[in-house]
Chains A and B, each alone.
Chain A
Amino acid sequence: MRYILVFVASVLAVPVAAQTGLPPAPYADQQLADPAKEAAARDLMEELRCLKCQSQSIADSNAPMAGDMRSQVRQRIAAGETPEQIRNWLVERYGSWVTYDPPVTPMTWPLWIAPIFLLIGALWLARGRFRRKKDDS
């Protein structure tokens, strides 16, 4: 009996407050016919940040606006734009915030420099270790 109730409840359940009543944009969840173009679109989607759910890429997000962005990306790729053109189009509007592949600017260069510094630091530490071993023997 309980299982039947649970089943009935789950069938009757409707979202209480959907974010939007409209269906997703045409290419939000539909792949492009050309596999090469779809792959290019897919790669770009993974590097574009969702505006609503800010820690996800638009490829990962279920937000309606992320769907709209995916559709834009696919349509623009299908129309012959390059991924870089589409990325720049978005960066022009939202700033480099929107891309997960940030360009080197006065704000972001520490991000790019940090790994090099860490590597140099690690090598320096390792060098100290090796030398001490030699001294001991």
Chain B
Amino acid sequence: MNRWLLWLPLGLFGLFFVAVAAGLMIPKDNVIESKMVGKPMPAFSLPAAIEQRPALSSTDLVDGKPKLLNIFASWCLPCIAEAPQLLELEKAGVEIHAIASRDRPEDIANFLNRWGNPYSRIGSDATSSVQLELGSSGVPETFVIDGKGIIVHQHIGDIRKENVPELLAILREAQ
């Protein structure tokens, strides 16, 4: 028998070891992107989440102007982090609609009183049904929808300072 072949099991074990060590040390990329980007908004209709804002249905998202659809929840900490950026976008003239994920009206009202309310309409998605329609897997997420109701972009996670100009550029392009 070829004596080099004797080293094969050790070599295989080495490969196995490296693969496992790499899997442990390299942080996992758990982001699941929606396959709905580039497709039309699925039809939905959600009841109003709070008294102060009207309900949201998919037809509200198709009126010739590009807009943002933000998915948030009062129980979601990164949603607090992105609140100032959403207010900034609203100040820049962007229309922002929202879906409140698995949330109570009083909790949503408290959250918005505390961190600001940049939303024109807020729909309440108590069983994540619209989130599943959108291919969204968590909060916060923000979709850019063009005037014809096509989803042109999905931002996963909180909107940071540096994402604001990016989103504004995408909105301009979607005009």
Contact = CB atoms under 8 A, between A and B. Distances in A.
A94 B135 contact: yes
A71 B127 contact: yes
Contacts of A46: none
B126 A93 contact: no
Interface residues of B, number: 24
B137 A25 contact: no
Contact of A20 (B32, B35, B73, B135): B73
A69 interface: yes
Most chain A CB within 10 A, of B35, B73, B128, is at B128
Interface residues of A, number: 25
A90 B131 CA distance: 11
B117 interface: no
B35 A92 contact: yes
Contacts of A94: 32, 34-35, 135, 137
Contacts of A98: 32
A18 to B, nearest CB: 7
A22 B107 CA distance: 11
B50 interface: no
Nearest to A92: B35
Interface of B: 30, 32-36, 73, 75, 101-104, 107, 126-129, 131-135, 137-138
